[in-house]
Structure 1
Amino acid sequence: MTSVLVVDDSQFMRTVIGNILADNGYEVYSASDGRKAVKEVTEREPDIVTMDVEMPGMDGIEAVAEIMSTKPTPILMISAHTERGADATLEALDRGAVDVLAKPSGEVSPNIASLSERLVEKVRAVGEADVSSIARTRAAQTASLAGRVAETMGTTETASRGYSYVEHPTVVIGASTGGPKILEQLITGLPVGLDAKILVVQHMPASFTDRLAARLDECTNYSVAEAADGMRVCDGEVVVARGDYHLEVVSNVAGRIRMRLTQDERRHGVRPAIDVTMETAANRVRDPLCGVTLTGMGRDGAAGMQAIKEAGGATIAQDEATSPVFGMPKKAIETGCVDQVLPDGAIPDAICSVFAQEAKSHG
């Protein structure tokens, strides 16, 4: 039987979460703070941990860091709908947690009833995560920092060959479970000289995508913002799809892309859906285009990658060894429309090579 350690300083939330998981066939343990959680992980070796963020004593961020350094275990953060909670959760993801689930808006709210399906789905996805790949991504981040300095100066492997980049390149990146850390590594690895427009679709609760955009903006020389309806995206800008809204490409004129937000029906049970952004990009972007599918559970992005390939764009999928969850890349690869399957650290240079090679062939 799969075991889950439920960590929360609220007895009420421990009971609610524990009962939901027990009713779905999980063996449940509990802890009321981070320090007790670290002890329980060592002694009971649970398969999965659900972790509250704000707790007295050792909080969720510190507990994640301790667990991932001593007894790596798939961890799902369960966080409040607040700016502080979102920032803390993203820090926990940076320390090695796999995914995030937003708490209901109030402990006695009817929204508690909606928690069950989302919780079980998230726990199942997190349970499939390869925590060793997460550890490798964290280790690669330090190396990426030094590489980013070189790339900013135009000394990537691609740039060193003397290639120039095509004008107005567009990259559409889709990610889900385990994605935020890899997204950070990928975007910081793209040189300023590429001057791409980058559209990011990360499956994440609505209250977290603006903080993800702010975090990415702090660590890259690209300008990063959460998407807004009617926004025009220019070269050198990154747009992160807003949680609970599909992000559609409406037009591509004079190197600018205009975006639209909709709350149309969910696809694959998610909104934003990667397929929506990729398919509309394939239909409307006439500038050079590249689609990238990263870690995640399910098949979102597979149809979008196929559409980009059929429109003449390039396609790249993350490989199994570096994907915390290989579901989405695997489904994309199975379409037969993926040009390259690469470890996460090799994807930035591959994107540069796609556009550099095109520039050279037309030069």
Structure 2
Amino acid sequence: MSDRATRAVVVDDSHFMRTLLSDMLEDGDVTVVDTAANGAEAVAAVREHRPDVVTMDLQMPEVDGLEAVERIMDDKPTPILMLSAHTADGADVTFEALEKGAVDFFTKPGGEVSTRMSSKEDQLVRKVKAVAEADVSGRGAVAVDSTGGSAAGSVATDTREYRDGATVVIASSTGGPTVVESLVGSLPRDADLRVLVVQHMPDAFTSRFADRLDAASEYDVSEATGGDRIGGGEVLVAPGGKHLVVAGAGGGRLRTKLNEDPPEHGVRPAADVTMRSAAETVDGPLVGVVLTGMGADGAAGAEAVHDADGHVLAQDESSSAVFGMPKRAIERGCVDDVLAAGDLPGGILDAVKLEVNA
């Protein structure tokens, strides 16, 4: 994007919220070119103004946020930031919006109409500007088949043998939930991996995210609760608001704990915390994966994995909604392979396969 101000359309059925959000964005040098009170108006505003980004409410009369996302992505693909209630029900609908093409979401503190939004002005402006940078042209669900490879180059796994006790740590942020779901859902159970997922999202959302991964995967997926022990074929998701730490390893299992130490890079959970602790503790094969996201989280952790003789993968720019996190890791010189989202499962399996001498 050029140096010109980011141009936004604000969509919310509350006149108060439209005014509040517009004022917050304008204060942050985001130009609000139009507002809309429902999904139908949003589609028309996008068609007329071609904004860089849309902030989209979920619950609206006539045409709701879900249908509006679908229509916009079919008509004039545009980066969309969902504004979601900080509730479990809000999480479920938000994940549906991400499946339909929305890039990311921002939770409203205090409900649908919230005077507390003003306290989140800086975070909202940063998120809107980051989402505006996303390339949504031709983006869709990551095509990954059950053999652990992309549709373009699948990896046969039926004759593959894997190294024992392999651990995978995944770092993900903006644009990441659908990528993580496709990646974890494609890992074959016979690889017997221990997988830790750090996805930047609030606490009301991570438990629902773990449920979605569990439904999509052959692995047993749960949200970390503190003191968990994870073995092969299991996935732990870091809960919103807490860092996930690998505290010990032995007997083929990892012992984990949670803490509320200060955020790193402005986020908690931070992937750097999990990756560093894994690099210090894990005694078997270790793979670090840095996916799409804004900021620098995961770069220092990836370097720690690399320095511990682990293998580091990064999502490539063309398949990343926001190339910030992978780019920072690549710039550190610690990334072994840069792969499209659909090729990451095969990259993980290549890193943990058992080498057989001819």
Distance in 2 of aligned mates of 1:351 and 1:107: 41
What is the CA-CA distance between 1:112 and the residue it aligns to? 2.7
Letter in 2 for 1:23: D
What is the CA-CA distance between 1:110 and the residue it aligns to? 6.2
Select which of 278, 291, 297 maps to 1:294.
Answer: 291
Deviations 1:88-141 (A, max 9, x none): 001101111111110011467663332201111110110111112xx4342x43
Secondary structure of the 1:208 match is helix
What is the CA-CA distance between 1:12 and the residue it aligns to? 1.4
CA contact (8 A) 2:243 2:268 kept: yes
Match of 2:23 in 1: 19
Match of 1:88 in 2: 93
Is it true that 1:178 corresponds to 2:182 in the alignment? no
Distance in 2 of aligned mates of 1:23 and 1:288: 49
Deviations 1:246-281 (A, max 9, x none): 111111111111111111111011111110000000
Distance in 1 of aligned mates of 2:215 and 2:157: 24
> Normalising by the residue count of structure 1, what TM-score does the alignment of the two structures yield?
0.92
Match of 1:194 in 2: 191
Letter in 1 for 2:238: A
Letter in 2 for 1:159: T
Select which of 250, 267, 287 maps to 2:264.
Answer: 267
| Runs of 4 or more consecutive aligned structure 1 residues displaced over 4 Å after TM superposition | 106-110
The structure where helix makes up a greater share of residues is 1
CA contact (8 A) 2:17 2:114 kept: no
Select which of 136, 140, 154 maps to 2:139.
Answer: 136
Secondary structure of the 1:174 match is strand
Deviations 1:169-206 (A, max 9, x none): 11000011100111111111211111111100011122
Distance in 1 of aligned mates of 2:216 and 2:160: 26
CA contact (8 A) 2:187 2:218 kept: no
Is it true that 1:235 corresponds to 2:240 in the alignment? no
Match of 2:129 in 1: 124
What is the CA-CA distance between 1:151 and the residue it aligns to? 5.6
Match of 2:246 in 1: 249
Letter in 2 for 1:157: V
Match of 1:65 in 2: 70
CA contact (8 A) 2:206 2:239 kept: yes
- 1:1-363 equivalences under 5 Å are 1-28=5-32, 29-106=34-111, 111-132=116-137, 135-138=138-141, 140-141=142-143, 144=144, 147-148=145-146, 150=147, 157-159=155-157, 162-356=159-353, 359-360=354-355
Secondary structure of the 1:215 match is helix
CA contact (8 A) 1:165 1:355 kept: yes
What is the CA-CA distance between 1:16 and the residue it aligns to? 1.0
* Alpha carbons of structure 1 residues 6 and 110: separation in structure 2 relative to 1, 3 Å: closer
Distance in 2 of aligned mates of 1:173 and 1:34: 35
Distance in 2 of aligned mates of 1:137 and 1:353: 25
Secondary structure of the 2:204 match is coil
Distance in 1 of aligned mates of 2:356 and 2:225: 36
- Structure 1, unmatched stretches of 5+, are none
Letter in 1 for 2:61: P
Deviations 1:306-326 (A, max 9, x none): 000111111101111111111
Letter in 1 for 2:355: K
Deviations 1:7-37 (A, max 9, x none): 1111111111111011122221211111111
Distance in 2 of aligned mates of 1:10 and 1:277: 40
What is the CA-CA distance between 1:234 and the residue it aligns to? 1.5
Distance in 2 of aligned mates of 1:136 and 1:205: 25
Q: Count the aligned residue pairs.
A: 349
CA contact (8 A) 1:158 1:352 kept: no
Distance in 2 of aligned mates of 1:351 and 1:15: 47
CA contact (8 A) 1:89 1:100 kept: yes
Letter in 2 for 1:340: D
Deviations 1:63-89 (A, max 9, x none): 111111110000001100121111000
* Alpha carbons of structure 1 residues 362 and 279: separation in structure 2 relative to 1, 3 Å: farther
Secondary structure of the 2:59 match is coil
CA contact (8 A) 1:158 1:353 kept: no
- Structure 2, unmatched stretches of 5+, are none
Distance in 1 of aligned mates of 2:250 and 2:357: 21
Identity of aligned pairs, percent? Answer: 51
Distance in 2 of aligned mates of 1:136 and 1:31: 25
CA contact (8 A) 2:17 2:113 kept: no
CA contact (8 A) 2:86 2:111 kept: no
Superposition CA RMSD, Å: 1.8
